[in-house]
Structure 1
Amino acid sequence: MTKLTGRLDDDRRTLVLTRQFDVPAEQLWTDFTDPDRLERWFGAWTGDPASGQVMLTMNAEAESVPAVPCRILHCDRPRRLSVTVTDSFGTWQLAIGFDEDEGSTRLTLRHEEVDLQTVPEVGPGWEWYLDRLTAAVAGEAPPTLEDFVDTYAPMGQDYAVMISGS
């Protein structure tokens, strides 16, 4: 099983996951903000980001997912991107930080105001997506849906233990 990397912040309302990359922050920024690069590991967006909103379509899911609105709350290139995404499951508040030190970048994804009951499903999903990003940055094939089912979904048990405080 892949190692669980997520944790709850002190407020117990924010799920935090990090990854370290041997690339500059600007490159990772582009992996999130350029629709062609985002499509390699997560999905695609259409629209004009200058308007403060784009439409986001996830492309790695098992079934076709309709485009959903993604509102851009904060954009500080290449340090921080904060968005809300509204879909059939509710509104997701996400903040992505890019901290560079000598060409290496620590990416921190914060899923804010997360419903604790959803963490056993949401946590493994973010682990999978961030590992897909890691593979895309390395020029490798990203983990598949089968990998999610076999390797990432079972992490839900560890996330359930984490939210229970055991």
Structure 2
Amino acid sequence: MSQHATGRAEKRDGTLCIVFERRFRAPIDAVWAAVTEPDRLARWIGRYTGDPTTGTVSFTMSAEGDDVAAEDITITECEPPRHLAVVMPGPEGAPWSLTVDLVEQAGETVLRFAQAMDHPDLASSVGPGWDYYLDRLAAAVSQADVEAISFDDYYPAFAEHYRVAVERGRLA
């Protein structure tokens, strides 16, 4: 588990994002599989159905209880095993743009995850959520107990960090 909030606000191509980084002692193909293959994805966040080559899949979160509806995810860019960009429905119909970039270097794989985010109040829950999910990803890749990670350790403890980071990023 992260002992502190790990994400930061960063402008990418003029868009404010929350950006996270995780390092894995695993080959790039193993980390890519964990974020793109349905069975491996299900271990830490959710499952998709459908054919990704069509550009759209139906995704259901598995770590948020049983009453979560499937949502259509649009795959906007996919360059295995290095880059994935998707758009998914967010609250109140505003789309969420997410990117995953992987680089293999010096025997480890570095994952950089970003979500476009310019709403400080929304960032106060989304930021801790991504710290939680990315720690679950790290546990899944290392074959540790994913269920031992509790969202209560992330929220509300990290909420203010993300609210302030996005507020400052908006003013920069």
What TM-score, normalized to structure 2? Answer: 0.87
- Does residue 153 in structure 1 map to residue 127 in structure 2? no
Runs of 4+ in 1 over 4 A off after TM superposition: none
Give the aligned partner of residue 111 of structure 2. 107
1:34 to 37, 41, 46: 37
- Work out whether residues 81 and 102 of structure 2, in 8 Å CA contact, stay in contact via their aligned partners in 1: yes
Cα shift readout 1:61-104 (whole Å, capped 9, x = no counterpart): 04521000000000000010000011544311001000111331
Describe the shift of the 1:118–1:158 C-alpha distance in structure 2 as closer, same or farther (beyond 3 A): same
CA distance, structure 2, for counterparts of residue 132 and residue 72 of structure 1:
22
Number of aligned residue pairs: 165
Identity percentage of aligned residues: 35
- Residue 154 of structure 1 deviates from its aligned partner by 1.3
CA distance, structure 1, for counterparts of residue 118 and residue 63 of structure 2:
22
What's the secondary structure of 1:9's corresponding residue?
Answer: strand
Give the aligned partner of residue 73 of structure 1. 76
Q: Structure 2 unaligned runs (5+)?
A: none
CA distance, structure 1, for counterparts of residue 108 and residue 151 of structure 2:
27
- Residue 35 of structure 1 deviates from its aligned partner by 0.3
- Does residue 4 in structure 1 map to residue 8 in structure 2? no
Give the aligned partner of residue 17 of structure 1. 20
Q: Which amino acid aligns with 1:84?
A: V
- Residue 36 of structure 1 deviates from its aligned partner by 0.2
- Residue 164 of structure 1 deviates from its aligned partner by 3.7
- Does residue 123 in structure 1 map to residue 124 in structure 2? no
CA distance, structure 2, for counterparts of residue 117 and residue 151 of structure 1:
16
- Work out whether residues 101 and 112 of structure 2, in 8 Å CA contact, stay in contact via their aligned partners in 1: yes
Give the aligned partner of residue 166 of structure 2. 163
- Residue 161 of structure 1 deviates from its aligned partner by 2.9
Which residues in structure 2 correspond to 1:128-143 (within 5 Å)?
128-143=132-147
Describe the shift of the 1:7–1:109 C-alpha distance in structure 2 as closer, same or farther (beyond 3 A): same
What's the secondary structure of 1:129's corresponding residue?
Answer: helix
Give the aligned partner of residue 95 of structure 2. 91
Q: CA RMSD in A?
A: 2.1
